Amino acid sequence: MLVEVPRTQSAPELARITDAEAHAMVRAVLRLFEHWQVSDNQARDILGGLAARTYARWKAGEVGRIDRDLATRLSLLMGIHKGLRYLFSDAERGYAWVKKPNAIFAGQTPVDIMAAGDIFSLARVRSWLDAERGG
């Protein structure tokens, strides 16, 4: 006998990432960029071409509205950081990894890949790290 599975809403009532969570991720990503030693231009590219003025305000602690694309990028960056922490017991090695050429990325560095600007490049790095740690 077939039983219909209850349908779920296509759009949940609650935001997936709250404003407070998004602002906390901004602070964490800014610290992450410092550890990775990426330039402001690279950081802005990784964030999808964020305006220089907006990025400067973020660094000054003034985080405005975070749209869905930016929240997704921040989430992917947190996942990349998490993956690196799982793979490297020494945090400094993980921070350095993003600036080293990698054969899996055709000799490019992970920062080069992420700075391409499209969200799929961030997802590519995150997926590779997830696959590596998943064995």
In angstroms, the CA 113 to CA 7 distance is 38
Which pLDDT score is estimated for 135? 58
Is residue 121, in this structure, part of any structural domain at all? Answer: yes
Inter-residue contact 28 to 17 (CB < 8 Å): no
Residue 59 lies in a domain: yes
Residue 1 belongs to some domain of the structure: no
Structure tokens at 101: 């050429």
Q: What is the model's pLDDT at position 16?
A: 67
Residue 68 lies in a domain: yes
- Structural domain including 100 reads 19-134
Residue 14 lies in a domain: no
Q: Count up the domains in the chain and report the number.
A: 1
75-87 residue pLDDT tens: 999 999 999 999 9
Does residue 12 form part of some domain? Answer: no
Residue 41 lies in a domain: yes
Considering the chain, what is the average pLDDT of its residues? 90
**Average pLDDT rounded to a whole number, residues 95-106:** 94
